């Protein structure tokens, strides 16, 4: 098929449909479908099966630890004490890995199947994929037959030009070609109906994709969370505007309906959280942005396939016309494949809503892995092994994220490394690390043949996979206090669950954070190297460029002055490990946390 341009899209198996009118906002609105119209006097129909994945994050190899587990009523394992899943006696499966994903896809496919995605298929990836800018994962998705996906926020980690390169081909402008040779691009497009170019308002990505199957057209509308500018580096979203999801999708929906595409699916990289530890094919969602979008979309939209929150659920919501609409998400890291079966009425060209059946299939490792995919992954493992297996330092014991509540040993260690890397050139006095950027623990036991306590480059990269740039800005003491006040700590009175976002401090910074006080009055007794901070004091603060750009809601960082840029965060971490080995787990206590 011909690749879609930004102004004209190839409708697979059908005529080319122009979207110039849609771009200019002049597409005529079609009448809103009436309640129940999908099931009125159905004529001859044809079956369609969608298989969907989301938030793969380049996990070609099977994920490990908590990232490998998923609650599964049919699972082969039992959590006897609740330490793994949170429910004593719960059944769970060890799941994920591209070779098992491929094997399960083969079992689930039939002649009526389309494979689609809901974003974050690449980005924040393990070294095996990230070392080559996720070309290994993008190529595998082509091999698996992906026809389209919404963009996710992590698809913008390296900016729109890099995302276009992934789709269109060409070698990386800095690192050049991978060992596989010149990159050919993908046969699928990432979609973004709410991603516009600043200035002229044109679409930065194709807003939709139409595929003909069994003689009927299925229209896919892609969306990414409107919060992307808050969770991606400023460089990653430069020149782009992310608009409200429902309005953007409804505009495209009306356009598609006007051109005869009545069966419509929204792929949205935004979702809901769930009541923990539930059957992946149940609907334990706590309504949030995902539900808001799923309920608000035009009644012409038949299905909503979501991502972003890394949860597994199969729900029904009411659309604005009062009709049931299926709304799903399939976990993360390739641990589940969402299967949605339905029929399309040949006469109305629309989905028969009462025919829709959906479930999440757990990607267990109890079946034989796909041998072709295994061989493909091994090829890339061989290519990256020299880099990944290089020892960079030693640790004396596990250094972990703990429960990721408040200050953690690994977070402190990373902050210390970032401070050391930014002192000379940036004159940094303190460093702060976002906890969401600490992706896994450092374990003492060997993972290969490197020996206990040895940390390899690959292991360090798994801890910090984003390739963020270290930066330093000047903040006043008052601004530092305001920044620390932007940290979050709330307790659900019903469940006792904690929602928190606490920055990890370098050893040079201490302060008190009192969660019992009102927001805005929680931070006190700020000291740098034991000396109290004054409001007018000028402080050089180091952080990665994600935070400095205001990421994770820490907008006070954007008030900083005298910006200095230094090494990549992974390089800072590697250098620190080499200079200070063997490293013991740092003692916490830099934050006096009062609960």
Integer Cα distance of 411 and 402 in angstroms? 10
pLDDT at 42: 55
Mean pLDDT of 173-197: 97
Residue 168 pLDDT: 98
Q: Looking at the predicted structure, is the pLDDT value of residue 28 above 80?
A: no
Report, as an integer, the average pLDDT of 138-164.
Answer: 97
User: What is the distance between the alpha carbons of residues 75 and 61, in angstroms, rounded to a whole number?
Assistant: 21
pLDDT at 47: 98
Q: At which residue do the structure tokens 């400095």 appear?
A: 548
Q: Could you write out the DSSP letters of every residue in 243-300?
A: --HHHHHHHHHHHHHHTT--EEEEEEE---EESSS--TTS--EE-SHHHHHHHHS-TT
Residue 86 above 60 pLDDT?
Answer: yes
Question: How large is the average pLDDT for residues 190-194?
Answer: 98
Among residues 199, 191, 184, the alpha carbon closest in space to that of 117 is found at 191
Q: Which of 16-25, 41-50, 109-118 has the lowest mean pLDDT?
A: 16-25
Please report the pLDDT score of residue 498 as a whole number: 79
| Residue 32 pLDDT > 50 | no
- Whether the predicted pLDDT of 27 surpasses 60: no
Per-residue model confidence (pLDDT) at position 173: 96
Give the pLDDT mean for 251-265.
Answer: 98
pLDDT digits (tens, 9 = 90+) for 417-470: 999 999 998 999 999 999 988 988 999 998 878 899 999 999 999 898 887 889
CB 253 within 8 A of CB 221: yes
Closest CA to 426 of 484, 476, 395, 472: 472
Q: Which fold has domain 391-594?
A: 5'-nucleotidase;  domain 2 (3.90.780)
What is the CATH number that goes with domain 52-372? 3.60.21.10
Helices and strands (DSSP H and E) totals, the chain: 14, 34
Q: How confident is the model at residue 84 (pLDDT cuts 50, 70, 90)?
A: low
Q: Give the up-direction half-sphere exposure of residue 236: CA atoms within 13 A in the CB hemisphere.
A: 26
- State the Cα torsion 421-422-423-427 to the nearest 10°: 170
Cα 400 to Cα 299: distance, rounded to the nearest angstrom: 47
Q: Which residue has the tokens 């530092």?
A: 480
d(C-alpha 297, C-alpha 193), whole Å: 13
Q: Please compute the mean of the pLDDT values over residues 232-254 and round it to a whole number.
A: 95
pLDDT at 513: 96
Please report the pLDDT score of residue 95 as a whole number: 97
Domain boundaries, the chain: 52-372, 391-594
In DSSP terms, 224 is beta-bridged to 269
pLDDT at 97 over 50: yes
Mean pLDDT for 302-309 is 96
- What pLDDT sits at residue 89? 82
Helix (H, G, I), strand (E, B) or coil at 401: coil
Write down the mean pLDDT value for the chain: 90
User: Residue 436, exposed/middle/buried by CB under 10 A (0-12, 13-18, 19+)?
Assistant: middle
Per-residue pLDDT, averaged over 378-405, amounts to 89
Decide if pLDDT at 544 tops 90: yes
Higher-confidence residue of 467 and 149: namely 149
Bridge partners (DSSP) listed for residue 328: 305, 314
- pLDDT band at residue 37, thresholds of 50, 70 and 90? very low
What is the structure's pLDDT at 6? Answer: 37
Cis upstream peptide for 582 (omega within 30°): yes
């Amino acid at each position: 098929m011909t690749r879609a341009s930004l102004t004209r899209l190839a409708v697979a198996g059908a005529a080319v449909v122009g979207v110039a009118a849609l771009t200019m906002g002049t597409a005529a609105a079609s009448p809103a479908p009436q309640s129940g119209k999908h099931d009125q006097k159905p004529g001859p129909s044809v079956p369609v099966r969608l298989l969907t994945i989301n938030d793969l994050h380049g996990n070609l190899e099977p994920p490990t630890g908590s990232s490998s587990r998923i609650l599964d009523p049919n699972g082969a394992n039992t959590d006897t004490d609740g330490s793994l899943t949170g429910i004593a006696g719960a059944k769970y499966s060890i799941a994920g890995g591209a070779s098992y994903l491929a094997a399960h896809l083969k079992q689930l496919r039939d002649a009526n199947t389309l494979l689609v995605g809901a974003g974050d298929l690449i980005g924040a990836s393990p070294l095996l994929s990230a070392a080559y800018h996720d070309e290994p994962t993008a190529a595998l998705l082509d091999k698996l037959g992906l026809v389209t996906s919404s963009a996710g926020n992590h698809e913008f980690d390296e900016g729109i030009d890099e995302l276009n390169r992934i789709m269109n081909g060409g070698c990386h402008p800095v690192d050049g070609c991978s060992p596989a040779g010149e990159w050919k691009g993908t046969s699928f497009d990432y979609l973004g109906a709410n991603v516009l170019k600043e200035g002229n308002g044109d679409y930065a990505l194709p807003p939709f994709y139409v595929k003909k199957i069994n003689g009927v057209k299925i229209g896919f509308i892609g969306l990414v969370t409107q919060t992307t500018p808050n969770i991606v580096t400023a460089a990653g979203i430069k020149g782009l505007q992310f608009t409200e999801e429902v309005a953007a999708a409804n505009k495209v929906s009306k356009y598609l309906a006007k051109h005869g595409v009545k069966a419509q699916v929204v792929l949205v990289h935004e979702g809901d959280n769930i009541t923990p530890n539930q059957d992946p094919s149940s609907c334990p969602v706590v309504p949030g942005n995902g539900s808001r979008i799923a309920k608000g979309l035009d009644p012409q939209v038949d299905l909503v396939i979501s991502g972003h929150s890394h949860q597994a659920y199969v729900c029904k919501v009411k659309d604005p016309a009062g009709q049931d609409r299926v709304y799903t998400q399939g976990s993360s890291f390739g641990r589940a494949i969402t299967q949605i079966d339905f029929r399309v009425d040949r006469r109305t060209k629309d989905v028969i809503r009462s025919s829709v059946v959906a479930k999440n299939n757990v990607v267990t490792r109890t079946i034989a892995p796909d041998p072709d995919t295994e061989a493909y992954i091994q090829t890339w493992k061989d290519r990256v092994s020299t880099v990944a297996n290089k020892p960079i330092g030693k640790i004396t014991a596990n250094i972990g994220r703990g429960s990721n509540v408040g200050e953690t040993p690994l977070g402190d260690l990373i902050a210390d490394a970032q401070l050391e890397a930014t002192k000379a050139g940036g004159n940094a006095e303190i460093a702060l690390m976002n906890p969401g950027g600490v992706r896994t623990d450092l374990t003492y036991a060997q993972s290969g043949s490197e020996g206990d306590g040895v940390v390899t480059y690959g292991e360090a990269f798994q801890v910090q996979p984003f390739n963020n740039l270290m930066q330093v800005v000047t903040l006043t003491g008052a601004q530092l206090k305001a920044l620390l006040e932007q940290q979050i700590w709330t307790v659900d009175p019903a469940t006792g669950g904690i929602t928190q976002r606490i920055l990890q401090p370098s050893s040079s910074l201490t302060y008190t954070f009192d969660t019992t006080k009102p927001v805005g009055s929680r931070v006190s007794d700020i000291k740098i190297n034991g000396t109290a901070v004054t409001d007018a004091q000028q402080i050089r603060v180091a952080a990665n460029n994600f935070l400095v750009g205001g990421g994770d809601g820490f907008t006070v960082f954007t008030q900083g002055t005298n910006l200095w840029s230094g090494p990549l965060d992974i390089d800072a971490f590697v250098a620190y490990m080499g200079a200070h080995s063997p490293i013991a787990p740092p003692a916490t206590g830099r934050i006096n946390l009062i609960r």
